Amino acid sequence: MPADAPYYRDYLKATVALLREPSGPVFTILSYIPLDEPLYSYTWLELCRRMAIEFAPRFSFSAFPIPAGQLRPFSYQIFDRNTVHLGLRSYSPQRGTTTMSSAILFRNSYVAERFHGEFLENYRRIGNLDDSAFGALSRQLSGLTNTIKKTALEDIERLLEGL
């Protein structure tokens, strides 16, 4: 998730706009954190931590680490009790990170309920990302230096400017 990518900035703007709407949706995010991508992982952790503080209780975030070299082939988003978006990922050598290569949209209450139940159980087991969990995840990131942290914080400030 390169913070300077235009599509990422657009995604963040749209999300913040929805969170600012009085009757907008509630976001609950459960994310995996690659331990061998310190810049991207730390940027994502810090950005979501800030959004969870600013937009509580409509934005909740939790995360779990995945070991170096692992890649989760898909992610999913549950939009409501009927709609689930399943994103399939692949590695982009040009970007040096994973990207969404294709997607499937399910509009089926049974499928959505199955994803929703699984998501809630996993979120309950991991819990919200509090300061202690944030620190523990940050310490596990291989190669995380003060220089990388500074770059991540600068990237976040640029992302949040004007939102």
Percentage of the chain with pLDDT > 90?
55
pLDDT, position 86: 82
Q: Is the pLDDT reported for residue 37 higher than 70?
A: yes
pLDDT, position 134: 95
What tens digit of pLDDT does each residue of 100-115 get?
Answer: 667 888 999 999 999 9
Domain ranges of the chain: 6-160
Neighbouring C-beta atoms of residue 61, cutoff 10 Å: 23
Q: Which residue intervals of the chain are DSSP H helices?
A: 6-20, 38-54, 109-126, 131-140, 146-160
pLDDT, position 105: 87
pLDDT, position 10: 86
Distance CA 67, CA 11 (A): 27
Residue 71 amino acid letter = L
pLDDT, position 117: 92
What tens digit of pLDDT does each residue of 47-100 get?
Answer: 999 999 999 999 999 999 988 777 666 778 888 889 988 877 666 666 666 666
pLDDT, position 50: 94
Burial class (CB in 10 A: 0-12, 13-18, 19+), 62: buried
